[in-house]
Amino acid sequence: MLSGHGDKPETVHRLELGATRIAREYFRHDPPTSREIERAIDFAEDEIMRMGRPLEITAVVWNTGPASRALSTVSGPTMTIEMVEQWFQRLASASHGQSGALQGLPPGREAAATLMVLREFMLHQGHSSIVAVELADAVAG
């Protein structure tokens, strides 16, 4: 995660929350079960809390991960907490057997893990939006 004011990142925040890792260690099913999601949320919350105090709410936050860029194909580059929460509720519905709930969202366990991490990060850090960009674009910005 990169953050800053204006259109150029000032700070880099590294989280040990890779979507591949969460998909591999927590999500055994596609879509993941509600129990798998809860366990992954517990892990994500612990990692986010290790960051310390929340970032400045006025900061712009960029996510350079490829899975978040896949989600941005649905929303455009800026994802609001309302969008992410709505998508997460669709993931929760899918985890309870409503297979069509995820229609239109990127498929797979890694996409589900990315969505869960974005939601937890935004909720716990207090950000109303996040921008998905290529790393080179964010640094050059």
Domain residue ranges of the chain, discontinuous segments joined by +:
2-140
Q: Which residue matches tokens 């109303």?
A: 128
Q: Which residue matches tokens 């890779």?
A: 18
The helix (run of H) or strand (run of E) holding residue 79 is: strand 78-80
Sites in the chain below the pLDDT cut of 70: 1-15, 53-66, 133-141
Assign residue 100 a region (left: φ > 0; alpha: ψ between -120 and 50; beta: otherwise).
alpha
Q: Which of 50, 89, 71, 87 is nearest to 130 (CA)?
A: 71
The whole model's pTM is what? Answer: 0.82
Q: Which of 89, 100, 84, 95 is nearest to 27 (CA)?
A: 95
Q: Are strands 60-63 and 129-132 parallel, antiparallel or unpaired?
A: parallel
Residue-level pLDDT at 6: 62
Residue-level pLDDT at 103: 94
Residue-level pLDDT at 47: 87
Cα separation, 44 vs 124, in Å, equals: 10
What's the CATH architecture for 2-140?
A: 2-Layer Sandwich (3.30)
